[in-house]
Amino acid sequence: MVNKSVFGFTAVTLTALMISACGGGGGGGSDSSKNQTSLQVYNVSPNSTALKIEVGEDITFSNLVYADATSTSTVDHGDYEIVVSGIDASNEYEEVLSTSGSVAKDDRNLFIVSGDYNDIQFNSINFDLDDLEDDHLRLYVGDYSTGSTGYDMYLVSSGEGFSNAEKVTTTQYGQVGLVGDFSTETYDVYITDTGTSDIVFTAERVSMTSGTSYFLMLRDTFGPGQAKFALDRVTSSTLVVSYEDNYGDAQFRMLNAYPETISTEIKNSETNIKHSNIAAGDFTSYETVPYSDYGVTVDDSNGDQLLNNVLLSLPQNSTKAVAIYRDSDGNAKGIAFNESVRELTYQSDINFINLAEDLETVDVYFVADGGTIDTTPYHFKNSDFEQVKNSMLPTNDYQITIIENRDDNTQIMVYQSPIFELDDDKNYTYALYKDASATYGYSLVVAAE
């Protein structure tokens, strides 16, 4: 059972701050603590770059990435000009929204950035913990999942099952509602289509054990799971805890950084996926499979086994690449790592992994037209063997140059690509491997999606 206080669904103060040509004034004019209140910002704009939010002249929240929140700051209550900026294709901040809004006195304040990056929406919520009883939490629920027509949310003490769950609210897209006060404990959360018991999403063991406010937010997710949203637990902490559907599918693809053609098999007791004749430097399309643990078997072109049942763990809604390569002893080996399939505006998500068995570490440079490795700001320094590096890169034309720095301070070029264009509708994984037939003795697997 869910131990819930008497009051039910209540609308909190939720104001859509409209775009304006000129902003409001500054904050409250006194430094006295009686004029101060708390403010936090949460980003659920699904294709946004890292955002900067300026509240008046003196308050700036920087590098706010998707599905994350800032720490809670103490500010003066009052009216503010608010400017939201994101990273453009030149890696500079561009203003995407200018508005005015208020920070309420004696309340806590949460700003939410939502919607498509090219049509950013900015909402202000103020709330309090007045009269919250001991061993209770105050629950708010919001729905920012694109295309949502609303869902029913059920809560139950963890492990007690859906049959014992209580419907606590029906969501509405773009709105946050105060649901009520509940006993502090760990819950299972079930989401169904409205008016039905058809479960479309399950989050188990959602910890809400402190006597404070909790916001459970539905927002877009980008893996292969049938539910196209995840659940974020937002508190006054900067740590946002995200829950994917407990029963969502996973996906993977194979990358061949081994210097020969290979065939692979991914299997467990219920699933078997085979890929034949993957050439060196090539990769497969994504395969969707039930979340589970799998064994990976790899054969060479003669049918001789290189790897047998190497573990591959695919959690709910995960997207992974599995790269096959040679280790420093010349033996076949596999490594799995996460990939992003979230489309970004003006940027691509980049993975780089050094799988050249005779290169202990390399420096990787993405050089735009007119630049050199000495002038480009886009690089992965000290990329050790088997280490995955990740970053966001502005969409542009680039040439990749990879350098080995030797102990005698000699720099050796081991790879240089033709000039190519990044597409912000795609993300990329680059895997360096030894290739005796290549100009500099090494090649790249270039896997775009």
What the block records as the tokens of 256 is 């061949």
DSSP symbol at 75: E
Token digits for 65? 């990435």
Contact between 217 and 153 (Cβ < 8 Å): no
Global pTM value: 0.88
CATH of span 343-449:
2.60.40
Say how far residue 192 (Cα) sits from the centre of its chain.
Answer: 24
Q: Tokens for 198?
A: 């058809």
Beta strands in 194-269 (DSSP E): 199-208, 213-220, 229-234, 241-243, 250-256, 262-267
**Radius of gyration of the chain, Cα coordinates, nearest whole angstrom:** 25
Q: Convert 391-428 into a string of H (helix), E (strand) and C (coil).
A: EEEECCEEEEEEEEECCCCCEEEEEECCCEECCCCCCE
- pLDDT (tens, 9 = 90+) of the chain, 449 residues, equals 566 543 333 334 333 332 222 233 333 344 555 678 999 999 999 999 999 999 999 999 999 999 999 999 999 999 999 999 999 888 899 999 999 988 998 889 999 999 999 999 999 999 999 899 999 999 999 999 999 999 999 999 999 999 999 999 999 999 999 999 999 999 999 999 999 999 999 999 999 999 999 999 999 999 999 999 999 999 998 899 999 999 999 999 999 999 999 999 999 999 999 999 999 999 999 999 999 999 999 999 999 999 999 999 999 999 999 999 999 999 999 999 999 999 999 999 999 999 999 999 999 999 998 999 999 999 999 999 999 999 999 999 999 999 999 999 899 999 999 999 998 889 999 999 999 999 999 999 999 98
Residues paired with residue 339 on neighbouring β-strands, in sequence order: none
DSSP state at residue 92: S
The boundaries of every CATH 2.60.40.2890 domain in the chain are 249-338
Three-state secondary structure call for residue 174: coil
Please tell me the class of the 249-338 domain. Answer: mainly beta
**Encoded amino acid at 297, one letter:** T
User: Which amino acid is it at 394?
Assistant: P
